[in-house]
Structures are given as C-alpha cells and as structure tokens.
Amino acid sequence: MQVEADLAARNQSIAHLDDSILQLRQTLARQRQEIIVAATQISTQRQQQFATLEQQINELLAQVGMPKAAIKVAHRLLSEDALTANGMDDIELLFAANKGNTPAELRKVASGGELSRLMLCIQSLLAAHTALPTLIFDEIDTGISGEVALKVGVLMQKLALSHQVVCITHLPQIAAKGNRHFFVYKDDSRDDRTLSRIKTLAPDERVMEIAKMLSGDQPGQSAIANAKDLLRVSNV
C-alpha cells in the first residue's frame, strides 16, 4: 500500500510539473522586468550626476597642482540582455593632463604622480558622501615633490578634519601636515631575525626626522630650521 501511495504522489507531481514550470517562468519574467526598471532608474540618476562629478574632480585636481588637467566621464548604456551586478551602465573615467589634450584611458595617459593625485581627489569626494571613518593612503606622494607635495598635504589635512587619515609617506611636506607622526623602522638587534617596529615621535624627534627627510641622515642646521618652518606652517 505504501508503494502505491508513493507512486500516486509522484504521478500527481508529474501531472502538475508543467504548471510549476509555467509559474516559475512567469516569476522570472516579472523579476527581470523589475530589475530592468530599477536599473533604468539608477542609470538615469547616474547620468544626471556626471557633469557635477567632472566639475568637482577637476576643481580638486587644480588644488593638487594640475589646473589644466580634466576628467571626462565616458558612458555606454548596455542592452537589457547584458545587465550586470552593477546595472546597465558601462562607465569609464577618461583623463587629460594638459589643456588641449583629448581625454583618454587613465592607464594609457596618466603618470604615477598624476594617478596618485587623481585617486586622492576621488577618495576625497567619496569620503564626503559615504561612511568612511578611516582613510589610508599608502605612498600617495608617488611621483610628486615640492609645491605639489604641499598642495597634496593641504588637501589631506582638510580630509582629516572629518575623517581619521593614515598616510604612509617619504615626503617632509606631507609628513609635516599630520597631527601625529609615527616612525616605522626595522630592528635587527636580535640574532635570529629582523623585526618591524613603530613608535610615536616626540616634538623634537619629529623635527629631526623631517630634517632627515629633507637632507639625509646627518641634517645640518638649515635642514633643521626648514623642518621647524614646515611644522610651524602646518600647524597654523
């Protein structure tokens, strides 16, 4: 009797299989349409922000020493069959470092220093609109020096007013902008291995470390005076 009951249940299930398949197809079609509607709305909202995004990034680029540089948003609308997890938009940032240059792919035209500054600008905008309590910049100063480094340091200092900013740097202009200075060094005093250590620098130690960044391991009085000036200006 149990076998008969099992066979009857399986037969009933098979009899309603076409109905189940039809219901699933209808559900998939409905969900797909909902996704397309949502993706279309998101795409419209994105496109409305392109001009603002370009303007804000270009203004920040001017602040970090690239007044003639420009970002252009290249946008391509995907077909409904090519939807991705990011929607129906194919978006790319094009970059031109100088006035009169045609914006092109970042990886083809941006130098290391330009790319570092551009990423700092983009991160600054993201930090203003998203919950990013801590920002970590690992050698954001690649390829820059002098006055440009000062401008990058100023922008990072502004970021630090509303976020915790951790910056790994070898430039005195940027190191002097921090509220606290941590010195990372290797300790090879042990016979079996070398250890990486970190310590917070006291004010006088900080002056000497920035002076070393300026002139080498044996800084002279002029380098020490320059370091003090950098710290004084940064803390104004």
- Higher local confidence (pLDDT), 2 or 160: 160
Rounded Cα gap, residues 156 and 21, in angstroms:
58
Q: Classify 49 in phi/psi space as left (phi over 0), alpha (psi -120 to 50) or beta.
A: alpha
* β-pairing verdict for 70-77 and 89-96: antiparallel
The two tokens of residue 125 are 């905008």
Q: List Cβ neighbours of 114 (8 Å cut-off, separation of 6 or more).
A: 66, 69, 95, 97, 143
Rounded Cα gap, residues 65 and 48, in angstroms:
28
Q: Is the pLDDT of residue 236 over 60?
A: no
- Higher local confidence (pLDDT), 139 or 53: 53
Give the dihedral of Cα atoms 37, 41, 47, 52; nearest 10 deg.
-170
Tell whether pTM > 0.85. Answer: no
H or E stretch at 114: helix 112-129
CB contact at 8 A, 61 and 118: yes
pLDDT band of residue 14 (cuts 50, 70, 90) is low
